[in-house]
Structures are given as C-alpha cells and as structure tokens.
Amino acid sequence: MATPTLPSVLRAQYEAWPYPQVPLLGSLPSTHPWELHADWLWDRAGSGRAPARPRVWIAGCGTFEPYPWALANPRAEIVATDFAQSSLAIAARRCRLHGQRHVAFPAADLADPPTWPAGRFDVIECYGVLMNLADPLAALQGLRERLTERGVLRLMVYPHWSRARIFQIQRLARLLGLHAGDRSHPALLRAVVKSLKKVHPLRFAFTSYADCRNDAGVVDGFLHAGDRGFTAFQLGALLRDAGLAPAFWFHRPWAQPDAMAQRLELGEPSQGFVLNYLDLWQELRGNFVVCARRAEAPAREVQPLRPHPLFAGEGSLRHRLRLSRLRWLGGRLPSRTGEQAVQLGARDARDLRAGDRLERLVGTGLVLGGRDHGSRLPAHADFAREAEFLQHAAGLRVGRRAPNPLYAHLFAAFELAARHPELGLRDLEGQMGRWLPWADPLEQRPVTFGLTPYGTYTKLRRNVQEHLERGALPVAAGYGEVRLRGDGEALARVKGFLRGFAGLPAGPRDDAALRELFVLLFGYESLFVTME
C-alpha cells in the first residue's frame, strides 16, 4: 500500500476534526467583528475607501470564520473556501442558521490554484493556513495575484519562538505515539499533560491554550500532522518574495513595530527586526497577523475622518436595533484577541451614529481616516546568518552543563545578542530591566506567569550568561548519541510513567525516544542537563 502523503494526511485530519469546534448556535452581536469590515481593513492598510460591494475571499476558512466576516460585511460578496468538506458544511450551516446568505462555499485547495475561486478580491483572509502548506511562498504569490490593485490580504502565521512550547508538546505527543488518526488520542494527551506538575512549562502552555478545551482544538494545536512557525525575518522575506508589502500589523497594540521600537528605544531597525525581538524576548502570546498589499500598490492614502460603517447604521434590522441599544446604554466591543477591546459609552455611540466630534474617537479604532496607521519603519531587513543561528539553537549540546532543550528559546534569546553584534541588540541589561515588572511594556500588565524570559530573568540571566562565556559545546546528532546522567534510571522512570496510562500506544520506543521523553517530561526543573 502506498504511504499517504503529508497533504493527504492533513486533509484527512481536518476532515475528521473540523476546526474550530464552536457551538453552531453560538452567536456574535453584529457590532463585534468591527475589525473585519473591509472599509476598516482598507483604511488601516492605507488603501483608502473600499468598494461599496467588496469581494472577499476567506481562504482556508474552517468552520467559523465565514460567519463573523459575513456579519461584519453585510454588503460584500464573500467566497469561503477550504479543502475540508466537513468544515465547509459546518460553516455553511452556521451562516444559514444565523441568516447570513451572502457567502458561497466552494471547496478549494490552496496548494492547487486551478481549484481556486475565479476573479480578483478586494480582501483576502488567510488566517492560520499558510503554515500547513509545503510551499507557502507559491501559495502566497498566487494569493497576491488574486488581489485587486489596492486589495488587502490579511495573513496569520505562527511565530517560531513564541510557539516553541506548542511545538514541544507536539514533539511529546509524537514520541508518545499519539496522532489525529485515533479519536481517543486527544483525551490521552490531555491526561498525560495534566498529570505533570502544575509548574511544568508544558502543562502551563497546554492549559493556557484556549483550544485545549475541545478535542478538535487539541488536534489542531498539538496533534497536528505538519505545521510550522515562521521567524519574523522569515515572514518578512516570504512577504517580500511574494511581491507583498506589510501595511498594518493587526493583532495587538504592541505588534505595531513603530510603537514597539519607540518604546524599547530600538532606534531605526526594520519591522522584521522589531518583531523578531518581540518574538524572542517577549514570548509573543499571539500570532503574527499582518495586513499586506501588493508591493506596487498605489501610495498610502489618508481618508477624511468618518465613522466606522458598522456604527453608522449600515445593516439589518437586528443590527440597527443593537445600535440603538448602544446609543442608550453604551457597551463593550471586543476585538478578536481581546487586547484592543473598546468600551463604548452611550455618548460615543451617539456621536458615531451622527458623525459628530469624531476626533475624540480616533484612538479607538471605531473611526476611519484621520491619520496614517501604517508603520514608518522599513518593511524588512534580512538576518543573513539566520539559518545557521536557528540550526545552532536547535542543536543538542553535549557536556556536563548542556543547555536544557526545553529552554532552547531562552538560550537563543541571549545567544542572539552575544553572538550577533551586527544586529545591534545593545543594552540588553537595560532592556530586560525595563521589562521586568511588566509582561508587556505597552500593555502595562503585571507578569502573571512564570517561565518566560521576564518571569525567570533574574534567576536565569547569570546562569545563561556564564554558559555563553564558557564557549561552544560539542553538538550531538540526536538522543541516540548521548547519555543522560543516571541514564538507566531515567529510562526506567519514563517507562514507569508510560505504564500509568492505559491506552497509550505500546511502542516500540527506543532508548533515544525514552531519553527525549525524559527531558520533556521531567527535565523542567533545571536550566541545564548533563548529556554525556
């Protein structure tokens, strides 16, 4: 029998586990998806006023996205595609149930352009899909071709460093023999991870991941057949090589590279540099989300100030009733990530409806125009030695105090500054000192979790610094080549642990797999491990 190819395994995964798993009748108020309105996206991206009846393509839509997009864009012509028929069926049923009839649902494979919907689009949404593709650049080039002249592509990809823990849990699952092809495996993985100590960083990463609560989410996050992260430099290069230019970093206030660079006194680096810095040091707790335009699109435009169309009366009767309720009572308007939520007072809602005194609302995101929201930093700069750096950071080091692979991202952060002076990461001590009281300098929130570069900084900095000063350790090709301190006991401990879970695939697991499992399951207490 032929071995199934990765694309066919991936398709089978999403057919079997349509994602995301959201109750069909769960509804959103029509004013909530304000960030998905074509006019808003065009304004933020500097494209001016969107067409009155924009064409929107949601590429890799899953089971949920078409509904909020339809709600946000009542006058748009929307095409929602996915390669999983089961997801399309759920998305279509959801839209029908909520009275959204202006969405078409053809199947399309992003790796196969002849299956794509015809024509060009004013907005293309490709959220969390690109990292599933064998050739993301080819897909992105194709999507760019389908953009209208001033069209906006909103793209989400996983960040390489901030998602390190999720990839480590994926690795753990793979070593345990767990996969999406068995309906019982999400529950088994949940049981294994929840048996770890509360302070275990992988347990924390798992339980704080919103999708861990349902099986389709566990599959998409942790039992995925093949996804990947992108560093900010890789994302920048991908956009550039596809003929796209980043126009607005979408998801969080501090993802706007200018604000970030200013806050951290980073001088005049590129957007890619600032985002890389954010990813490495801050453990970006979201994903990279960027609105991009064709590289040759007309120059950015600043429109006159006007209210966001969703708050100026456009839409269904139900929508207008909701607007009147806001006018009397005010309300909270969430954003997708919850970070930019707006508290809308009754007076604000009245002014928005009347188009009065809009200057007051410029910072809220509920008005269009008024200023250029784009980044003034150059779009991208290469880090010429990144491939070498990434390979080094992932290497398994051998020695008495070898860096614990579970904390590779921490070492990488320090190492980047120490070994790559050409990047100009000066004054790291000052940088870290400034960040210490806050998990996030622009959000000004206290640290709420432990094992991040912030929370652990004071404890770890000296140890990491000493390690770097000791010089390079030899690198092993894999766990088959090394021995842990007390190797026999370590392997026996893992075997005992695995016996505690009825239903775990029996193996065969060689010693190399058991050793790696030991590090992932029990190696969390120390920054260093002894690999002989």
Ligand X SMILES: C[S@@+](CC[C@H](N)C(=O)[O-])C[C@H]1O[C@@H](n2cnc3c(N)ncnc32)[C@H](O)[C@@H]1O
Residue 87 in contact with ligand X, rule: CB under 6 A = yes
What 3-state class would DSSP assign to 103? strand
Contact segment (CB under 6 A) with ligand X among 105-113, 210-218, 449-457, 481-489 equals 105-113
Which range touches ligand X (CB under 6 A), out of 107-115, 166-174, 244-252, 329-337? 107-115
How far apart are CB 242 and ligand X at their closest, in Å?
Answer: 16
| Contacting residue, 65, 283, 440, 516, with ligand X by CB under 6 A | 65
Nearby residues of 15 by Cβ (< 8 Å), 6 or more positions away: 84, 85, 86
Site string for ligand X, 3-32 (x = CB under 6 A): -------x---x----xx------------
Q: Are 43 and 8 in contact (CB under 8 A)?
A: no
Q: Does 60 bind ligand X (CB under 6 A)?
A: yes
Dihedral angle at the C-alpha atoms of 276, 281, 286, 288, nearest 10 degrees? 0
In the bound complex, what is the minimum distance in angstroms from residue 347's beta carbon to ligand X? 35
Question: Beta-carbon neighbour count of residue 53 at 10 Å?
Answer: 12
Q: How far is CA 195 from CA 143, 222, 321, 409, 497, in A?
A: 44, 16, 49, 24, 10
User: Residue 208 carries which side chain, given as an amino acid letter?
Assistant: S
Cα–Cα distance measured from residue 54 to residue 67, given in angstroms and rounded to the nearest whole number: 16
Task: Please identify, among the stretches 59-67, 263-271, 308-316, 434-442, the one whose residues bind ligand X according to the rule CB under 6 A.
Answer: 59-67
- Contact between 133 and ligand X per CB under 6 A: yes
Nearer to ligand X by Cβ, of 21 and 31: the residue is 21
CB of 52 to ligand X, least distance (A): 26
Site for ligand X in 410-449 (CB under 6 A): none
Cβ closest to ligand X, residue 83 vs residue 383? 83
Residue 109 interacts with ligand X (CB under 6 A): yes or no: yes
What's the CA gap between 415 and 437, in Å, rounded? 23
Region binding ligand X by CB under 6 A among candidate stretches 23-31, 43-51, 108-116, 288-296: 108-116
Judged by CB under 6 A, the stretch of 58-66, 334-342, 368-376, 507-515 that binds ligand X is 58-66
Residue number, nearest CB to ligand X: 62
Contact region for ligand X (CB under 6 A) — 81-89, 324-332, 358-366, 418-426?
81-89
Q: Which residue has the tokens 């509904």?
A: 67
Q: Do residues 424 and 381 lie in contact, with contact meaning Cβ atoms separated by under 8 Å?
A: no
Q: In the sheet that 77-81 helps form, which strands lie side by side, from edge to edge?
A: 103-104, 77-81, 55-59, 121-127, 147-157, 288-294, 244-249
Distance (Å, whole) CA 75 – CA 102:
8
Query: For residue 508, is the peptide bond before it cis, meaning its omega torsion is within 30 degrees of 0?
Result: yes
Using the minimum distance from each CB to ligand X, give the nearer residue, 62 or 236. Answer: 62
Does 225 participate in binding ligand X (rule CB under 6 A)? no
| 57 close to 33: Cβ distance less than 8 angstroms | no
- Span 338-357, contacts to ligand X by CB under 6 A: none
Using CB under 6 A, list all residues that contact ligand X. 10, 14, 19-20, 60-62, 64-65, 82-84, 87, 109-111, 127-129, 132-133, 220
